[in-house]
Amino acid sequence: MSTTTAAQKTTRTLDDATVRFCGDSGDGMQLAGSQFTNTSALVGNDIATFPDFPAEIRAPRGTLAGVSGFQIHFSSKDIYTPGDTVDALVAMNPAALATNIGDLRSGGILIANSDAFDAKGLEQAGYKTNPLEDGTLKSHRVHSVDMTKLTRSAVEGMGLSVKESDKCRNFFAMGLVFWLYDRPLEPTLRFIDEKFGRKAEVAQANTAALKAGYHYGETVEAISTQFHVPKAKLAPGTYTSIVGNTALAWGMMTAARLSGKRLFLGAYPITPASDILHELAKHKNFDVLTFQAEDEIAAMTATIGAAFAGAMAITASSGPGIALKAEGMGLAVMTELPMIVINVQRGGPSTGLPTKTEQADLLQAMFGRNGECPIPVIAASSPADCFEISQEAWRLAVRYMTPVLLLTDGYIANGSEPWRIPNFADLPKIEVKHPGPQANGDAFLPYKRDERLARPWALPGTVGLEHRIGGLEKQDITGNVSYDPANHQHMVNTRAQKVANIANDIPPQKLDGPATGDLLVLSWGGTYGACATAVHNVQAKGKSVTHCHLRYLNPLPKELGNILSRFKKVLIPELNMGQLKTVIRAKYLVDAIGLNKVQGKPFSVAEVVEKIESLLKGDTKDSQAKPEPIDSETTIKAVLEKVAHGG
Amino acid sequence: MSVDIQLPVLKPTDFASDQDVRWCPGCGDYAILAQMKKVMPTLGIPREKIVFISGIGCSSRFPYYMNTYGMHSIHGRAPAVATGLKAVRPDLNVWVITGDGDGLSIGGNHLMHAIRRNLDINIVLFNNRIYGLTKGQYSPTSPLGKKTKSTPMGAIDNPLNPLSIAIGCEATFVARTIDTEIKHLGEVLKRAAEHPGTAFVEVYQNCNVFNDGAWAYAKERETKADTTLELVHGKPLIFGKNREKGIRLNGMDPEVVELGKGVSEDDLLFHDEKAPEPSLAYLLSRMRFEDGFPEPIGVFRCVEKPQYDDMINEQIETAINERGKGDLDKLFRSGDTWDVA
C-alpha cells in the first residue's frame, strides 16, 4: 500500500448523495450496503435503500446473471426514495459494471476493481475491449483501483489463504467509500467484532482491509475531493434503521401484545416474504409460534385453525403462494374469523421475477377468489410504515371479524429507512372480545352480529358455546348450513356490507397539495416515495398538482369519489399494467390515466415527474415507463451474438 | 392422559347436535357417529374442550352432528387446520374426520405431514373406496380395474393402502376397524383418543349407494372369521371360524398356516404393537384379502414419541426461561440507534 503523505484534498458539502455497491453475488455487496446504510443513519442522515439481487443464490461467478447490488440514498433533507441515478458506483467486476453503468449519472464517480477486468472477466460480461481503458466511460470520473492486490497486501501475514483474503475485498471497497463520503468506521468495526469476533484472524483481516480502503482514499492523489452530507432534520426522537420485513414482523408482534394474544404465523418459505418467518422465528420469548408448513395451503389453513383457536393468526407469502391460499381465504371469509394474509408482492405471473418488485397482485387481492368473497385490502407505503400498518390490519380484522389482506412488495420488504422508535406504552390498545361461558342451556348463535355486522369470536373451551362453522353457506344468526335462496342473497349482501362498513372506521383521506386543480396523482403501496417526491418537485416549480396516496384499497375511502371529481385529470402511477386504474374507472367512472411499469424496478422520480409535466401540458394518454438503460452494447448484443454462434 | 372411568356426567345423547343427520339411509357413517357419541363421555374430557375438524366429502359432514366445537373446512385440509388449532391450544382434544378421497388424494400432503409431526390429534379415515359426495368416481383406495363413472373401462391407478402410508409417515398409533363391528369400533376409537400423539384409524365403511359391498368379505358373518384377523398385543396371529389358522413368518414374508398339523401357536407370529421399529406393523398392513390373507383389524402400532404441540410450546417456554419474557421496547432498540433532539 502507498505510503505517501496525505494528498491535498478538498471537501464539498452536498444535500444528498446516492451510492451503489455492485458485484458478484458472492462479493458481499449486500453486507457492504447495509453497513454503509447503518453508518449513514447513525451520523444522522435520512436514508432510503434498495437492495437488488439475483434469484440465483450463486450464479456462475463473474456472469451478468450473478450481479448483486445495493443502493443507498442518504440526505440532509427528507427523502422518500433510494434515488433515481447514482452519484458513486462501486463495481467489483466487469459484469457489475455492464449491468449498472446505465444508472450512474453523467459526471458520477466510478470505483472499479481493475484486477477483475482481465480477459475472462471482460468476456463474461460481453466486453470486447476493457471499458476502463477504451475511453467509453469518459463522461464519468473513473477510478481504477487494483482492489484485489491492495486487499491481499493489507491482509498479508494474517494467516489467510488467497481465497479468504479476497473475501475481504468488500471491506476494502467500503473503507474507500466511507472515506469518500466522510463516514466513521467505528460502527463497522463494532460489526466486525460482533460478527467475526470468534474468528480472530478473519476479524483482523476485515479490519485491516476496511482501514486500508479508507487510507487509500485519504492518500491516493487521483481522488481529490471528499464529500460531506450533513445531518437531516428529523422529528425529535430515537431512531433506528429498519428493513420493511423486520418492521412488519415487529408490527405483528406489537399488535399481538396490544391485543393480549399469542401470535401464530403459518408460512411456507417464499421470496421475498421468508424474512418475516425468519424474524418471527427468532422471537419465541414473545410467545410467537412459527409454523413452517408443508405447503402454502397448509400455511393458510393452519392459520385458520389458529384463528379459530383464538390466536392472532397470520400468514405471509408472495403472489404464487397467495394464489394457492385463495381457497383457504374463501373459508376464512365464510367462517368470519380474524386473521391477516400478507402478500409481499413480486414480479409475476407464475414464478416471474422472485427477487424483483411489482404491484401486480392488487386485483388478485381484491377479486382473486371464487364466489362473492370480499376481503379488506390495505397496503404499506414504506419500510417503516410496515410497522404501523400491521397493527391497523389486526385492528380491522378483530373489529370486523374478517381476514385482512396486507400488501407490501419486494421493494418495501427489503428496503430500509430511519424509523422513529415508539414507546410501547404509548401505542393504542387493540380491543378483542370473546363471549363468556353460557350455562343456561340456550343455543349459542355464532352468526348473530353486532352493529358493525361482526359476529362473535367464541373460543373452543368456552362452556355452552359449542358450535360448528365451515365453508358451506350459513344461515344468518344460527350459523347452521342453509341452501335457502333468500338467505344466500342476504349473506352475500351482509358479508359485503360488513367489509364496506370499514370505510366508516378509517382516517379521512389526506391530500398533499391543493384540494382542487388540474391534476391529481393517485398512488398506492410502495410507489409512495417516488410519487410524493415527484409531486413535491413539480410543486416546487410553482405548478399545481396534488398527491393522494391510498392506504385502504378495499374498501376505498368514502370521500375518494368526491376528491377525484375535483380534479381535471387523474394520474395513477402503478408498477402493474393499470390495476388500480381499472378499479377507479369502474367504481367512479373517472377517466384516469395510467403510468405503468413492470420492469422489476420501482419508479424513478424522474419518470413520474416527466408524466406529470406532460399531463399538465395537455397529454391525455396512458404511458409506460421506458426501460432503464441497460448497457445494451454489452449485454443484449452479447447474448444475441452468442446465440448466433451457437454459444 | 388420565382416563379413569368415573361416573360419566355426560351421556351419548349430550354429544348429539340439533342438526338432522343427512347421510343416505344405510350409510356406514351412522354407526361410526353412534360409537363416537358413546366413546366421548368415557374420555373424561369436558365437551367444550373437544373439537372435530373435517374436510370435504360425506364423512366430513361429521362435525355438524356432534355437539362439540367443530369446523367443516375445505377439501383435504383438515389436518392442517387441526395443526394450527392444536399448536395454539394444546389443551383441546382435537379429532380430524376424513375419507379416502379427502385424506389420501387432495389432502395427502397434509395427512403425511400431520402424522410425521405427531401432534396429539386423532385422525379417523372413513374408507369406502369410492367418491360418494360427487356421486361415484373411483378413489385412491379403489382396486385396480374398478369400473366407476370416471373409469368406465376400469381403474388403472394402483390403490393406496392407508395404513402403509401412515406407517411410512412414522405414525405412532395406527389402527383399523370396521363400521359394522361396533364394539371393536368403539374400543379402537377409545384407544385412539387415549394415545398421546397422532392416532390414525382406518374404518372400513360401506357406501351402500355407490360402492355397496366393497368390504363384504370382511363384514359378512359367514366369511369374516376367515378374512379378518383381530390383533391382540402379545398374542399370536390366529384367525378362522375355529381359530384353526395362523400367520407364520417365512423368511421376510408372512404365510397362512393351519394349526395342529405340526404347527403350534409358538411357531406363529406374535403381535407387538409396541415394537420400536414399524416393520411388523408395515408387514401386517400389507396383508390383503385378494392375496389370500386375512386383513388385520385392531391396533397395529402404538408407540410414544415427542409431540409437535408439546415441543412448539416448550420452545416458547425455553426461550422465555433463557431470555426472559420478550420486551418490545428493548427489541426496538436492539440495533444501532441514534437520537435526534
Residue finishing a domain among A426, A455, A477? A426
pLDDT for A632 equals 44
Domain check: are A284 and A217 in the same one? no
**Distance in angstroms (rounded) separating the CA atoms of residues A52 and A411:** 9
B92 interaction partners in chain A (CB closer than 8 Å): 309, 460-461
Give the best residue of A301, A390, A480 to mutate against chain B (max B CB count within 10 A): A301
Domain check: are A244 and A151 in the same one? no
**Distance in angstroms (rounded) separating the CA atoms of residues A258 and A528:** 28
Q: Do A460 and B18 touch (CB under 8 A)?
A: no
Amino acid letter, A286: F
The answer to whether A390 touches A406, Cβ cutoff 8 Å, is yes
B77 interaction partners in chain A (CB closer than 8 Å): 297-298, 301, 328
Give how far B335 is from chain A: nearest CA, Å: 7
Q: What pLDDT digit, counting tens, does each position of B117-141 carry? A: 999 999 999 999 999 999 999 999 9
Position B7 pLDDT exceeds 50: no
Amino acid letter, B149: K
Please state the rounded mean pLDDT for residues A372-379: 98
Q: What pLDDT digit, counting tens, does each position of A535-576 carry? A: 999 999 999 999 999 999 999 999 999 999 999 999 999 999
Binned at pLDDT 50, 70 and 90, residue A639 comes out as: low
Give how far A191 is from chain B: nearest CA, Å: 10
Position A23 pLDDT exceeds 90: yes
The answer to whether A149 touches A114, Cβ cutoff 8 Å, is no
Percent of chain A with pLDDT over 70: 96
- B76 assigned to some structural domain: yes
B323 interaction partners in chain A (CB closer than 8 Å): 285
Position A53 pLDDT exceeds 90: no
Between the two ends of chain A, the Cα-to-Cα distance in Å is 41
Q: What pLDDT digit, counting tens, does each position of B77-109 carry? A: 999 999 999 999 999 999 999 999 999 999 999
Domain check: are A589 and A484 in the same one? no
Q: Cell 418467518 appears where?
A: A277
Q: What are phi and psi of A533, to 5 degrees?
A: -65, -45
- B279 assigned to some structural domain: no
Please state the rounded mean pLDDT for residues A95-101: 95
pLDDT for A105 equals 95
Query: Which residues, at least 6 apart from A515, have a Cβ–Cβ distance to it below 8 Å?
Result: A546, A563, A566
Q: Residue A234 is nearest to which of B18, B322, B340, comparing CB atoms?
A: B340
Q: What pLDDT digit, counting tens, does each position of B166-181 carry? A: 999 999 999 999 999 9
Q: What pLDDT digit, counting tens, does each position of A301-356 carry? A: 999 999 999 999 999 999 999 999 999 999 999 999 999 999 999 999 999 999 99
- A16 assigned to some structural domain: yes
Please confirm whether the linkage preceding B159 is cis (ω < 30° from 0): no
Domain check: are A163 and A221 in the same one? yes
**Stretch 103-162 of chain B: residues touching chain A, C-beta under 8 Å:** 109-110, 112-113
pLDDT for A60 equals 86
Residue A611 vs residues A154, A565, B285: alpha-carbon distances, Å: 50, 20, 70
Query: Which residues, at least 6 apart from B258, have a Cβ–Cβ distance to it below 8 Å?
Result: B244, B245
Please state the rounded mean pLDDT for residues A80-98: 95
Give the ranges where A437-567 is alpha helix by DSSP (H). 485-500, 528-540, 560-565
Query: Which residues, at least 6 apart from A308, have a Cβ–Cβ distance to it below 8 Å?
Result: A335, A337, A460, A469, B71, B81, B84, B85
Question: Where is A21: in which H helix or E strand?
Answer: strand A16-24
Q: Residue B68 is nearest to which of A240, A307, A466, comparing CB atoms?
A: A466
pLDDT for A439 equals 85
Q: Residue B84 is nearest to which of A236, A297, A313, comparing CB atoms?
A: A313
Q: What pLDDT digit, counting tens, does each position of A211-244 carry? A: 999 999 999 988 999 999 999 988 999 999 999 9
Domain check: are A172 and A310 in the same one? no
Q: Name the domain count of chain B.
A: 1
B72 interaction partners in chain A (CB closer than 8 Å): 468-472
Query: Between helices A169-180 and A29-42, what is the axis angle to 10°?
Result: 30
Q: Name the domain count of chain A.
A: 4
Residue A576 vs residues A173, A271, B177: alpha-carbon distances, Å: 36, 19, 56
Kindly identify which residue of chain A lies nearest to residue B341, measuring between CA atoms: A236
- A337 assigned to some structural domain: yes
Domain check: are A494 and A607 in the same one? no
Q: Residue A466 is nearest to which of B19, B69, B335, comparing CB atoms?
A: B69
Residue finishing a domain among A375, A398, A426? A426
- B337 assigned to some structural domain: no
Domain check: are A106 and A19 in the same one? yes
pLDDT for A637 equals 58
Beta-sheet strands, E only, within B241-327? 245-250, 253-258, 295-302
pLDDT for A441 equals 80
pLDDT for A320 equals 98
Number of Cβ within 10 Å of residue B322's Cβ equals: 9
CA A518 to chain centre: 31
- B91 assigned to some structural domain: yes
- B286 assigned to some structural domain: no
Binned at pLDDT 50, 70 and 90, residue A55 comes out as: confident
The answer to whether B75 touches B56, Cβ cutoff 8 Å, is yes
Residue B132 vs residues A412, A481, B23, B209: alpha-carbon distances, Å: 48, 20, 10, 8
Q: What pLDDT digit, counting tens, does each position of A499-538 carry? A: 999 999 999 999 999 999 999 999 999 999 999 999 999 9
Q: What pLDDT digit, counting tens, does each position of B182-198 carry? A: 999 999 999 999 999 99
Residue B98, domain extent: 12-214+303-311
Q: Do B48 and A234 touch (CB under 8 A)?
A: no
Residue finishing a domain among A178, A206, A228? A228
Residue A197, domain CATH: 3.40.920.10
Position A633 pLDDT exceeds 80: no
B107 interaction partners in chain A (CB closer than 8 Å): none
**Stretch 4-63 of chain B: residues touching chain A, C-beta under 8 Å:** 17-19, 46-49, 51-53, 56, 63
The answer to whether B129 touches B214, Cβ cutoff 8 Å, is yes
User: Cβ of B72 under 8 Å from any chain A Cβ?
Assistant: yes
- A636 assigned to some structural domain: no
Domain check: are A265 and A395 in the same one? yes
B143-154 core/surface letters (b: 16 or more CB in 10 A; e: else)? eeebebeeeeee
CA B90 to chain centre: 19
Beta-sheet strands, E only, within A443-592? 468-470, 517-524, 546-550, 552-554, 567-574
Q: Do B17 and A468 touch (CB under 8 A)?
A: yes
Position A87 pLDDT exceeds 60: yes
Residue A598, domain CATH: 3.40.50.920
pLDDT for A636 equals 58
Q: What pLDDT digit, counting tens, does each position of B193-246 carry? A: 999 999 999 999 999 999 999 999 999 999 999 999 999 999 999 999 999 999
Spatial CA neighbour of A410 closest among A355, A465, A454, A464: A355
Residue A495, domain extent: 433-505
Residue A351, domain CATH: 3.40.50.970
**What is chain A's mean pLDDT, rounded?**
94
Please state the rounded mean pLDDT for residues A163-175: 96
- A451 assigned to some structural domain: yes
pLDDT for A458 equals 98
Domain check: are A319 and A441 in the same one? no
Give how far B302 is from chain A: nearest CA, Å: 25
Domain check: are A338 and A443 in the same one? no
Q: Do B49 and A239 touch (CB under 8 A)?
A: no
Position B151 pLDDT exceeds 90: yes
What is residue A403's DSSP assignment?
A: E
Residue B182, domain CATH: 3.40.50.970
Position A619 pLDDT exceeds 90: yes
Binned at pLDDT 50, 70 and 90, residue A641 comes out as: low
**Distance in angstroms (rounded) separating the CA atoms of residues B228 and A423:** 68
Position A2 pLDDT exceeds 60: no
pLDDT for A58 equals 74
Query: Between helices A200-219 and A186-196, what is the axis angle to 10°?
Result: 160
Q: What are phi and psi of A247, to 5 degrees?
A: -60, -40
- A255 assigned to some structural domain: yes
A306 interaction partners in chain B (CB closer than 8 Å): 84-85, 87-88
- B200 assigned to some structural domain: yes
Position A635 pLDDT exceeds 60: no
- A452 assigned to some structural domain: yes
Strand order through the sheet with A288-292: A288-292, A263-267, A312-317, A339-345, A403-409, A377-379, A552-554
Please state the rounded mean pLDDT for residues A29-40: 94
- Number of Cβ pairs < 8 A linking chain A and chain B: 211
Domain check: are A466 and A375 in the same one? no
- B78 assigned to some structural domain: yes
Kindly identify which residue of chain B lies nearest to residue A421, measuring between CA atoms: B332
User: Cβ of B70 under 8 Å from any chain A Cβ?
Assistant: yes
Give the best residue of B60, B332, B333 to mutate against chain A (max A CB count within 10 A): B332
Domain check: are A479 and A525 in the same one? no
Q: Do A285 and B326 touch (CB under 8 A)?
A: yes
Please state the rounded mean pLDDT for residues A481-507: 98
Count of residues making up chain B: 341
Percent of chain A with pLDDT over 90: 90
Spatial CA neighbour of A435 closest among A452, A470, A460: A460
pLDDT for B303 equals 98
pLDDT for A342 equals 98
pLDDT for B5 equals 47
Q: Do B316 and A467 touch (CB under 8 A)?
A: no
pLDDT for B286 equals 97
